[in-house]
Amino acid sequence: MTLDRSETASTTRRGLLAVPLVGAVGALSGQFGAVIREVSADEPLSTHLDEHVPDLLDRYDVPGASIAVVEDGEVTWSGAYGSASPAEGRPMSEDTPFRVQSITKSITAWAVLKLVEQDEIALDEPVGQHLTSWERPDAEYSWEAVTVRRVLSHSGGLPAGVYEGVPLDEEPPSLREALSGNAGGPAARPTDEPGEFRYSNPGYALLELLIEDVTGQDFTAYINEEILEPLGMDGATFDTTERLRSELATEHFVDGTPVPLSHGPAKAPSALYATAEDIARFVAAGTEASGEPVGRGVLAPDSVAEIYAPTVGATGFYSLASDGAGLGHFVETLSDGERAVMNGGQGAGSWHWFHTTPGTGDGIVVLTNSERSVQLIADVVEVWSDRSGLPAVSLTRARRWIRLPVWILVGVAAGLALRLGYGVVAGTRTFAPLSDRDRTARAVLGGLAVVTFGLWWALGRETVAFFLPVIAEWVGLALSAVVVLLLVTVLFPKTDRGEST
């Protein structure tokens, strides 16, 4: 097949225009693709993480991370990377404690199941039946349907929301004041029909009061005695001592600003301080290990199985990384039939995660001191699941498709740039913003571009950046390119020559 001269010139122009676009997409791939490669069977996971986690910290602009690995039901390795506090020049170490946020809920769930084993309470009893030191507020829905099981699985109809913290040198409101709605958060009362998933921090504050009313002990004393000490979680505590403050990983907002230390009225939802190894010991206790019982003497294996059993389907953000909620944990069934169990902790300045397959004795814990860490955590969990011979878990699958909007926008921008550039070079488009040609269509196109851009920067960017700051940055850049190219297209309408070709 031969081309005439005009066709050859057109092809050459298209090729020249494509070269910079190919280079740009290649550069984006280098920045946006996976940093962690697959782990060879001969390479220890620890060696791989030592090599690549520092790259991930740089890539996602995260100050530091601490990681611990569970194999065959035992904590086999831990590592620390980056800085615990850049402002103070403190490096991260394996002994650095973090406020592990909602991972605390998993510990609380074990404490509640301990009371079930002791026949102090039953999972399907109304939680209010055991609350003796606080008067439950009136509610639209029946308190009788708010069972212990439902509160543990975030399906008690209780509201979402968090309690405001105060500086450490100030006394926070009491737990009972918080539960009554007098601590900057909602009252703990059923505001929806119990039975459907709705993540609730006030629900776990309610469980804290239940533990205190049933045992007659302070919540932290009971947790220390019944859970933390028996499992060897020596660095875990609820007490913000001077030593803890000096060693604690400093949390950072998305923009890198340090988060001041604070405390609030409730401990059970999110107030535990622990190292990665502490959480790994907890994770290991719920897994199979040769010669050692699941629950490691704290809970019976049947109780751990109850905790890990899916109780209600998750919705919204939580459905991206799990199939549903168990008791204080999230669960999913992998493609090979193995059950995976996980929980995350997110607060002002941090993201944390643990993932485990109790039947194989494998697990990983990732603690970080930045709100920018979700993608880093997903990368690490992906390489762990690959090294453990597990199918892809929901968290890493979500990580892959979450990037799809960026690639779609890049593709749209590339197509617009080629079309516009070719038109200008070929003379089928010219700068004529006041031209009557396709004026209405061009006005609609320009208006749509401006409105989309405004909505992204006014609403969308802040929402996405809270969970996925790196993705948000790329979406913003790609969307900006699309909008600019659309507006330039409006300013360069087709000529009579362009319409005839």
Residue 228 is predicted with a pLDDT of: 97
**Domain edge (last residue) among 402, 434, 465:** 402
- Let me know whether 412 and 390 are in one domain: no
Residue-wise pLDDT tens digits, 326-343: 999 999 999 999 999 999
Query: Other CB atoms closer than 10 Å to residue 297's CB: what's the count?
Result: 10
The C-alpha atoms of residue 366 and residue 277 are separated, in whole angstroms, by 10
Residues 19 and 115 in one domain: no
40 part of a folded domain: no
Instruction: Say whether both 424 and 365 belong to one domain.
Output: no
Tell me the per-residue pLDDT of 279-312, one tens digit each, with 9 for 90 and over. Answer: 999 999 999 887 789 999 999 999 999 999 999 9
Question: Can you tell me the distance from the alpha carbon of 292 to that of 295, in angstroms, rounded to the nearest whole number?
Answer: 9
Question: What does the buried/exposed string (b/e) look like for 90-104 if buried means 16 or more CB atoms within 10 Å of the residue's CB?
Answer: bebbeebbbbbbbbb
Q: Tell me which residues of the chain have a pLDDT lower than 70.
A: 1-42, 398-402, 463, 466-467, 497-501
Same domain, 492 and 374: no
Which CATH number is 300's domain given?
A: 3.40.710.10
Q: Residue 38 falls within a domain, yes or no?
A: no
Number of domains in the chain: 2
> 91 and 117: one domain?
yes
In a domain, 446, yes or no: yes
User: 284 with 356, same domain?
Assistant: yes
Pair 103, 212 in one domain: yes
Structural domain range at position 451: 5-31+403-500
Domain annotation covers residue 37: no
pLDDT tens-digit series, residues 388-412: 888 888 887 766 666 777 778 888 8
In a domain, 335, yes or no: yes
CB-based contacts of 368: which residues, under 8 Å, 6+ apart? Answer: 62, 64, 65, 66, 98, 350, 351, 352, 376, 377
Distance CA 473, CA 464 (A): 9
How far, in Å, CA of 193 to CA of 185, rounded? 20
Task: Record the pTM.
Answer: 0.82
| Structural domain contains residue 417 | yes
Domain boundary among 402, 429, 460: 402
The encoded tokens of residue 213 equal 């009313």
Structure tokens at 165: 């913290």
